[in-house]
Amino acid sequence: MSSTKISLLCTLPLLALGAKFNRATPDEFGLFGYGQGFGGFPLFYADGYAYLGEPASSNSSDPGVVTFTPSGSGTSQSWIGNPNTTLTNYTVSWSNVTFAIPSTSSSDKRVRFLTNETSDLDVITTGFNFYGAAAFAVEDGRLESSWYALQVSERVNALYWNDTSLGQVPVVLNHNPPSNPQDVAGLSET
């Protein structure tokens, strides 16, 4: 009796949020990092990993800002990345990459992308969604937003999931671009 009641209570918030999830995910979106020192750096792809900042400042051979399209719905939603053709008006070697966060057993805590030629069992590729404009992953029935960034060079920040061991700082991933592009580096705080 009481365990049925408890499990019902636990699943309710997600059921209630389900409708909002589906409405909240745009057909096409970019992701932008906000937080201390982060005023909306776009998420870009480089060498299979996700970064926040300026692709032009990356030492990767084919970095590019990612445009996402959702695939599936509700808690089985995955996000497929392709180059944002407005910003990436050069040829890159990647397309149709699947957004992935490391599972708790993964030793590499970077947020990454899978291609049709990579397989990685230590990642989670479903359960991404928005609450409002903020990106979340659904883990064990909970909405989690454990995005962290680590600066690796000027205007290049590696994106991590649930890891502060190297001094990563928390960021919010949001599908709204910054209203003032001058503020992306958080240099002009008001």
Interacting residues with ligand NAG (CB under 6 A): 28-30, 59, 67, 84, 86-87, 89, 95-96, 104, 116-117, 139, 144, 146, 152-153, 162, 177
CB 56 within 8 A of CB 19: no
Six-digit token string for 10: 């636990």
Give dist(CA 111, CA 120) in Å, integer.
Answer: 12
- CB-nearer residue toward ligand NAG: 84 or 168: 84
Q: How far is the CB of 10 from ligand NAG (least distance, A)?
A: 16
Residue whose CB is nearest to ligand NAG in the complex, by number: 30
- CB-nearer residue toward ligand NAG: 62 or 144: 144
Sign for the pseudo-dihedral over CA of 16, 22, 26, 32:
positive
Q: How far is the CB of 4 from ligand NAG (least distance, A)?
A: 26
- CB-nearer residue toward ligand NAG: 35 or 102: 102
Q: Which amino acid is at 76?
A: S
* Of the candidates 40, 39, 78, 47, the residue with the CA atom closest to the CA atom of residue 64: 47
CB 183 within 8 A of CB 39: yes
- CB-nearer residue toward ligand NAG: 19 or 85: 85
